Chains A and B, each alone.
Chain A
């Protein structure tokens, strides 16, 4: 379980992280979403005991990061967004080194390393030099490295960044396996549909502040203040445009004439939506279909992070 209270990181007058409060239950997968520079890596670095917070506190499985950072390190497996590997070190030696760094004896390491390489599909690369592996293989190896001491909590900072589609799918499969193993996983990514698929809860961070937190659906509802409504018409567009323009909850009307559709943004509730449809039929508008367009999480993310940075 991860508990974060009032975590803040300030550089001069700039807030990299502002009063972050969050609880991630044991055995769940939490996705951290935000544009570049939103504060995801800052949060992860603090939780990994690499960065000192300006104020606030966090606990990993009840252990304080400020009071017992050494104990916290034993609890977490950390994978940074950018990392290097040692030259002239073979894959199994790489894992062996980190295993020894966590105090595992030679016998334990000898048993664990083949299993981990198997988990990340790198068994056939056991005797290859790590610096010669592909980006995707290095990412998987780094994940295996983070698992060497069997941590209860995994902190994965954009583990799929820079990977080709195939490598992303492979990474996703591994993360699913880890989730099934009962690990508490804190993961950040720009690939929102992927996060939505594997995460139990999501947190959206923008300019150092957590602006939404909850299940994927609740976030979508909370953040999406305006829905896109499509109305398929058989008659005059001009009359329909005039009619919808008069409704204060409607904005940005677009005509898609080739499909006979009128699209607009709507701020009202479902009841308001129903009332609008009823009114349109009452005034004799030739409505063939009236529906809400489905927007995916990517659209929501683009909407809420407008101007916050580039993806």
Chain B
């Protein structure tokens, strides 16, 4: 692990990212907006209810809203951070030199991925104290927060892995960026649309039952999976409707891990030319 974290690309990229004020300004404004949102929500809810109390149900609502905001943050920022990781080196004419060093392709890709998502991880971790405000009012357990952060980490890793893969395969950052955002939109909006379509068609055809295809669309949609993590009871309902008892988060983890492993494998194998291929 120590060796992995002593990765030269990772160290260099992190050094460069935190050398300019942009990162710190971004972090400052993120925490400021989060803080205003949380305190504003608590104040507004207490004053609207007229009781002066902030109840556990409202605390849970705040927690759910924050969870979706952070998921949105991950989905929209990760492509921007990762889609230029390799292609920008190619555009800046620094890639050839990097590829002639003794670093393995895995080391370079791993360094690129981790350094790209490190900033987002920092945003998430630095927001934890604000996130933890909900504990003061009850309604949410620490294990639930831990599970949701693991979910974020997996989603971050997969979108990041896809960004790095497209960045390795395409020559230009703009193309890589478009394809990565396209994939992200597919995984969220398109799968959501297909889920609604599939549920509607199944209901019309079978009355009460829902086709297993709906389960598939639900299981790869981050927003739906987050819902099942916030409301675990929803998993049972999905199981009853589709006849598949496997919780959505299990399928999500398997599917996304496969995408992650596939994208990293492809990035590593395509980063350098295969000198022995012609034999």
Interface residues of A (CB under 8 A from B): 45, 48-55, 65-67, 69-70, 73-74, 76, 78, 80, 82-89, 93, 97-98, 100-103, 142, 145, 149
Contacts and interface: CB of A to CB of B under 8 A. Distances in A.
A89 B276 contact: no
27 contacts: A48-B96, A48-B100, A49-B99, A49-B273, A49-B275, A50-B272, A52-B274, A52-B275, A54-B278, A55-B278, A65-B275, A67-B276, A69-B276, A73-B102, A74-B102, A82-B93, A83-B96, A83-B97, A84-B94, A86-B12, A88-B19, A97-B11, A98-B101, A101-B98, A101-B102, A145-B97, A149-B102
Given A50-B96, A86-B94, A101 B101 contact: yes
Given A54-B278, A100-B8, A78 B97 contact: yes
User: Closest 10 interchain pairs by CB?
Assistant: A84-B93, A100-B8, A101-B101, A84-B92, A52-B273, A78-B100, A69-B275, A66-B275, A97-B12, A66-B276
A52 B277 contact: yes
Interface of B: 6, 8-9, 11-12, 15-16, 19-20, 92-94, 96-104, 272-279
B147 to A, nearest CB: 37
B106 to A, nearest CB: 12
The interface residues of chain B, by DSSP majority, are classed as loop
Nearest to A102: B102
Nearest to B100: A78
Contacts of A74: 102
Contacts of A149: 102
A80 B94 CA distance: 10
Given A97-B12, A100-B8, A80 B275 contact: no
Contacts of A103: 102
Given A50-B100, A74-B102, A66 B273 contact: no
A83 B93 contact: yes
Given A66-B275, A88-B16, A89-B16, A49 B92 contact: no
A278 B111 CA distance: 77
Contacts of A52: 273-275, 277-278
A192 B164 CA distance: 43
Contacts of B15: 89, 93
Contacts of A55: 278
B103 A86 contact: no
Nearest to A149: B102
A53 B16 contact: no
B21 to A, nearest CB: 11
B101 A73 contact: yes
A196 B184 CA distance: 57
A86 B102 contact: no
B264 to A, nearest CB: 19
A142 B97 CA distance: 9
A4 to B, nearest CB: 14
Contacts of A85: 94
Contacts of B279: 66
A83 B90 CA distance: 10
A100 B11 contact: yes
Task: Give the one of A48, A53, A98 with max B CB within 10 A.
Answer: A98
A70 B102 contact: yes
A76 B100 contact: yes
A180 to B, nearest CB: 24
Contacts of A48: 96, 100
Nearest to B89: A84
B200 to A, nearest CB: 51
A101 B279 CA distance: 29
